[in-house]
């Protein structure tokens, strides 16, 4: 099993003069090899799973509710 050594979440929110709100969410995960069984494919899959979970949670917490209703993409 690989080791998640770092998780970074960045959320920036801006509002322009037209009262339009822009939310930018970025997530970064760093994984490392723990054993010889760890392959690049396994490490990539784990990193993507971690990023998906982080982004889903951040989206619920930081995107305005009125914007969430219009896009039910998951």
Q: What is the pLDDT of residue 35?
A: 83
Number of domains composing the chain: 1
Q: Tell me if 57 sits within 8 A of 10, measured CB to CB.
A: no
pLDDT in tens, 47-73: 888 889 888 888 888 887 776 665 555
Q: What is the pLDDT of residue 67?
A: 62
Q: What is the pLDDT of residue 27?
A: 87
pLDDT in tens, 18-47: 878 888 988 888 888 888 888 888 888 888
Long-range pairs for 23-29: beta carbons < 8 A, 24 or more residues apart: 23/62, 23/63, 23/64, 23/67, 25/55, 25/58, 25/59, 25/62, 25/63, 27/51, 27/54, 27/55, 27/58, 29/4, 29/54
Q: Where in the sequence is the domain holding 36, given as residue range(s)?
A: 3-70
pLDDT in tens, 9-25: 899 988 888 878 888 98
């Amino acid at each position: 099993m690989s080791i998640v050594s770092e998780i970074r979440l960045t959320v920036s929110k801006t509002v322009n003069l037209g009262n339009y709100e822009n939310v930018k969410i970025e997530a970064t995960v760093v994984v490392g090899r723990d054993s010889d069984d760890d392959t690049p494919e396994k490490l990539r899959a784990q990193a993507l799973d971690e990023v998906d979970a982080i982004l889903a949670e951040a989206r619920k917490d930081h995107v305005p509710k009125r914007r969430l209703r219009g896009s039910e993409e998951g």
